[in-house]
Structure 1
Amino acid sequence: MLQESDHVLVSHYIKGNEKAFEILLERHKTKVYQNIYFMVHDGELAEDIFQETFMKVIRTLKSGRYNEEGKFLPWVCRIAHNLVIDHFRREKKMRMVSGGDDYDIFATLDMEELTVEDQLVMDQIGSDVKKLMEQLPEEQKEVVQMRCFQDMSFKEIAENTGVSINTALGRMRYALINIRKMIKEHNIILSPQ
């Protein structure tokens, strides 16, 4: 069973074979954990999100809602990525400051943080880039997402999409060309003024 594809192992697990999931977990745990750690830079937090990721994977598989055949690792990495984003959103909402009468709030603020205006601009840029990506052909969009948002190497992208490394590189190249054309056509500015 160790030689089976992810797709076959997922199928076995959905049918009740717990060993199949153990193999999937063992096969992909390092990559998933590294992706999470790369985003959060905290071992304990990365471990928590890693566990939450696989709990969500199990729930989704057991409920019969998994339908991304042949793309198990990118799907798991997308779940992890979304959980990291959720964590930072929650953390941002829960930030509190307290202190006595002689407390100086400016002593605790990180002066490198973006201003509200800068953050709005950065959010808009991110939104614009996502909209541009949505207009790409499916193969190009998939490569950009794997490379930029899942930090996958072109070798990993090639393996996950079933194409050669040169094809994966070519798709990325054409995606960038297409995005540049769209930026020019729509007069989009992708940097804060």
Structure 2
Amino acid sequence: MKLQIDDSTLVRNYLAGDENALAALINRHNQRLTSFIYSKVFDKEITEDIFQDTFIKVIRTLKLGKYNEEGKFLPWVMRIAHNLVMDHFRKNNKMPRFEGSPEYNIFSALKDDQLNAEKQLIKEQIETDVSALIAELPPEQQEVIRLRMYQDMSFKEISENTGVSINTALGRMRYALINLRKLIEQHQIVLTN
């Protein structure tokens, strides 16, 4: 019985000059990665392109010494593929730009329960982007957004939990949304509705 070499050993062997180690990694994860990409784009040619781009990026990162070995090679490669899929959708205008209208509720994009694979991927990216933006807000604005949007509390409950008046809680939410709109425009974040 032949013992299978783990991913981290193959990565080390590749970095030491063994090109076969990279071939072994690609062969090992080919099916899983191809299926993952195809489940998002539903096109064989695009899947092959993104698969190749993924490994070009993997090779570049490895050669630059920027890969941080934590025994998590496959999740790292999947994340690269995920980002390239998102880039593909953005390039092909599948994700409309946020226009910054006051009526637009950025959280409405997070509430769609019936999502296909493409929309699920976009939703995950929006959640990541929105979380990063919320982290840039002042702490009291972060708190009111988390309580209202993620814990579904009423402003009365927020007021009771935070020890501020309802008007203060409402004001913090208003400023948080204004600041989020500014951050979205500043960072040129792509959102979909």
Indicate the TM-score class for this superposition, using the shorter chain for normalisation: 0.5 to 0.7
Write out aligned runs for 1:6-17 (5 A). 6-17=7-18
Matching residue's letter, 1:127: E
Aligned partners of 1:89 and 1:42: how far apart in 2?
Answer: 16
Matching residue's letter, 1:61: L
Aligned partners of 1:35 and 1:183: how far apart in 2?
Answer: 36
TM-score relative to the length of structure 1: 0.53
Aligned partners of 1:27 and 1:183: how far apart in 2?
Answer: 46
Moved over 6 A (4+): 182-185
Matching residue's letter, 1:188: M
Partner of 1:49: 50
TM-score relative to the length of structure 2: 0.53
Partner of 2:147: 186
The structure whose Rg is larger is 2
Write out aligned runs for 1:1-193 (5 A). 3-92=4-93, 117=104, 121-122=108-109, 126-127=126-127, 131=131, 186-188=147-149
Query: Is contact 1:2-1:23 (8 Å) kept?
Result: no
Instruction: Report the RMSD for the aligned CA atoms in angstroms.
Output: 3.8
Aligned partners of 1:46 and 1:190: how far apart in 2?
Answer: 38
Which structure has more relative contact order (CA 8 Å, sep 6+)? It is: 2
Query: Is contact 1:36-1:49 (8 Å) kept?
Result: yes
Aligned partners of 1:40 and 1:190: how far apart in 2?
Answer: 33
Matching residue's letter, 2:48: E
Structure 1 residue 21: deviation in Å? 0.6
Q: SS state of the match for residue 188, structure 1?
A: helix
Query: Is contact 1:6-1:24 (8 Å) kept?
Result: yes
Q: Deviations over 1:53-88 (max 9, x none)?
A: 011101111111100320000000000000000111
- C-alpha change, 1:76 and 1:183, in structure 2 (3 Å) is farther
Query: Is contact 2:7-2:25 (8 Å) kept?
Result: yes
Aligned partners of 1:10 and 1:61: how far apart in 2?
Answer: 8
Matching residue's letter, 2:38: Y
Equivalent residue pairs, number: 124
Q: SS state of the match for residue 92, structure 2?
A: helix
- C-alpha change, 1:80 and 1:94, in structure 2 (3 Å) is closer
- C-alpha change, 1:9 and 1:2, in structure 2 (3 Å) is farther
Q: How many percent identity over aligned positions?
A: 45
Matching residue's letter, 1:11: R
Q: SS state of the match for residue 4, structure 1?
A: coil
Unaligned 5+ residue runs, structure 1?
96-115, 136-181
Q: SS state of the match for residue 27, structure 2?
A: helix
Aligned partners of 2:78 and 2:88: how far apart in 1?
Answer: 15
Aligned partners of 2:94 and 2:145: how far apart in 1?
Answer: 36
